[in-house]
A and B are shown apart, each in its own frame.
Chain A
Amino acid sequence: MTTPDNLKYTKSHEWVKQEADGTVTVGITFHAQSQLGDVVFVETPAAGRRVKQGEQCGVIESVKAAADIYAPLSGEIVAANAELADAPEKINRAPYSAWMFRIKPGNPAELAGLLDAAAYQKIADAEKQ
């Protein structure tokens, strides 16, 4: 449950979901929100912005710390989740439905380089030690 099999992941704790229309939806993992603690402020990238893989494109502030959010893939931001501005706690309550933004990938080959659930779980487990 804490690392769904149908998603891809990054080492920087984003999850990536491939949508039927060819875009990908991005959020942060259960492990990431658990490490951050209560989320109190979310800054998402503007639609239309072009990002490179690994580029910082958002911020999550929790009661404890601020964390950068990175684009898991290169492409164009096509949507951001406006609900999070008024309800940042959704990231803690349901990290896999509280998405942050959608990207139209510019280089689909990058998808193959993302982590699968088992590989990500290993990274998360190692960090918990």
Chain B
Amino acid sequence: MGARMVDFSGWDMPLHYGSQLEEHHSVRRDAGMFDVSHMRVIDLRGAGVRGFLRRLLANDVAKLGRPGRALYSCMLNDSGGVLDDLIVYFLSEDWFRLVVNAGTADKDMAWIGVQRDRFAPRLVLELRRDLAIIAVQGPQAREKTWRALPQTRSMSEPLGYFQAVQEADMMLARTGYTGEDGFEIMLPAEHAENLWLALHRHGVAPAGLGARDTLRLEAGLNLYGQDMDETVSPLESGLAWTVALAEPRDFIGKAALLRKAATRQLTGLVLLDKGVMRSHQNVRCAGGGVITSGGFAPTLNRSIALARIPKGIAAGDTAEVEVRDKWLRAKVVKPPFVHHGKALISVEC
């Protein structure tokens, strides 16, 4: 399809299929699709899997009341650092599914294996190399998916956000990484090409990693390895809402989080001057900070960033960012920047 390919965690991935900006706008205004088969599916099966996951994950799978419900969570190490962020799906009382990042999948499998041996040795852990994932995202994503896959309409139309349904060997989840409505579809890899072509015939635009990055940044969604990693706490990564510290449940990393108060926060910046913020640039504010993800926001037509800065700084405050030897002015804002096609921040500067 004319894609420019790049290496991503050892996978040959499309960066864009012509214009990253057009792909971005397709997702915000209509429907776009991403081949995200590099993300890995890990199935956990056996009696007691829920109890195991309540120990393994920082968010609480007890919240998943009905089969098909999904939850975003961090998986922490003993010192409270983020090993990975993932989505966990409750499929049945003895079957949960994790979808994890490409670059961390091997490390995750090893870690989960060790914890399984420790806490629930009878659970079966399976890395599903046989599955592909296609994300269809945008205001018209669900409608166009149903046109391409008419048999899935009746079962997937009632799905709320973060809910999934299985039909034969396919799973449709109303989840994504763009701030738009849509599905993530998991299916046997040998059927993925046909689905891709069918979606394309129904007007879904192929989109690459480039657009995926600008979309998730506008949506204020963290990228593992950039906005958080093993060395930082989820409480300093904008993810406190996914960590239940007050409840009695114990989970890996909890003790470390309780020991060490968060002094920094991950928040948003909007550049007031002309230019483009990029990751690793310095932020000048009381205490100083750093850009973890920065770029150009096509929906807002200006540069935005996620930055790790001291906790005391509030939305509305100003900071300066070192962009190519110049200190440019930026405003602190609370992410997300864009949701369902609409700008959430005021950009009169």
Known: A63-B214, A63-B296. A41 touches B324 (CB 8 A): no
Residue of A37, A43, A61 near B20 (CB, 8 A) is: A37
Known: A59-B324, A63-B295. A41 touches B274 (CB 8 A): yes
Cα-based distance from A123 to B324 in the complex (angstroms): 27
Determine if B16 and A37 form an interchain contact, defined as CB atoms under 8 angstroms apart. yes
Shortest Cβ gap from B134 to chain A (Å): 23
Contacts of B50 in A (CB 8 A): none
- The proximity string for B residues 200-241 relative to A, scoring 1 for CB distances below 8 Å and 0 otherwise, is 000000000010001000000000000000000000000000
Determine if B20 and A63 form an interchain contact, defined as CB atoms under 8 angstroms apart. yes
* Secondary structure call for the B interface: mixed
Smallest CB gap from A59: residue in B: B324
Determine if A41 and B276 form an interchain contact, defined as CB atoms under 8 angstroms apart. yes
- A38 on interface, CB distance cutoff 8 Å: yes
Known: A37-B210, A41-B296. A64 touches B20 (CB 8 A): yes
Contacts of A89 in B (CB 8 A): 21
Contacts of B296 in A (CB 8 A): 40-41, 61, 63
Contacts of A92 in B (CB 8 A): 19
- B275 on interface, CB distance cutoff 8 Å: yes
* A67-124 residues at the B interface, CB under 8 angstroms: 85, 89, 92
Contacts of A46 in B (CB 8 A): none
Shortest Cβ gap from B149 to chain A (Å): 31
Contacts of A41 in B (CB 8 A): 274-276, 296, 303
* Secondary structure call for the A interface: mixed
Shortest Cβ gap from B91 to chain A (Å): 38
Smallest CB gap from B211: residue in A: A63
Q: How many residues of B are counted as interface, with CB atoms below 8 angstroms from the partner's CB atoms? A: 16
- B278 on interface, CB distance cutoff 8 Å: yes
> For this complex, into which size category does the number of interface residues on chain A fall?
10 to 19
- A66 on interface, CB distance cutoff 8 Å: yes
Smallest CB gap from B22: residue in A: A38
Count of A-B contacts judged by CB separation below 8 Å: 40
Determine if A61 and B275 form an interchain contact, defined as CB atoms under 8 angstroms apart. yes
* B274-328 residues at the A interface, CB under 8 angstroms: 274-276, 278, 295-296, 298, 303, 324
Residue of A61, A63, A66 near B210 (CB, 8 A) is: A63
- The proximity string for A residues 36-66 relative to B, scoring 1 for CB distances below 8 Å and 0 otherwise, is 0110110100000000000000010101111
* A1-58 residues at the B interface, CB under 8 angstroms: 37-38, 40-41, 43
Contacts of B324 in A (CB 8 A): 59, 66
Contacts of B275 in A (CB 8 A): 41, 43, 61
Cα-based distance from A30 to B295 in the complex (angstroms): 23
Cα-based distance from A122 to B330 in the complex (angstroms): 42
Cα-based distance from A38 to B296 in the complex (angstroms): 10
Smallest CB gap from A65: residue in B: B278
Shortest Cβ gap from B322 to chain A (Å): 13
Contacts of A64 in B (CB 8 A): 15, 20, 210
Contacts of B276 in A (CB 8 A): 40-41, 61, 66
Contacts of B303 in A (CB 8 A): 41
Contacts of B298 in A (CB 8 A): 40, 63
Smallest CB gap from A42: residue in B: B274
Cα-based distance from A126 to B220 in the complex (angstroms): 38
Known: A37-B210, A41-B296. A63 touches B278 (CB 8 A): no
Given contacts A38-B19, A41-B274, A61-B296, 16 further A-B contacts (CB under 8 A): A37-B19, A37-B20, A38-B21, A40-B21, A41-B275, A41-B296, A41-B303, A43-B275, A59-B324, A63-B214, A63-B296, A64-B15, A64-B20, A65-B278, A85-B274, A89-B21
20 contacts between A and B (CB under 8 A): A37-B16, A38-B19, A38-B20, A41-B275, A41-B276, A41-B296, A59-B324, A61-B275, A61-B296, A63-B20, A63-B21, A63-B214, A63-B295, A63-B298, A64-B15, A64-B20, A64-B210, A66-B276, A66-B278, A66-B324
The 9 tightest CB contacts between A and B, nearest first, are A61-B276, A38-B21, A40-B296, A63-B20, A38-B20, A63-B296, A37-B20, A38-B19, A41-B276
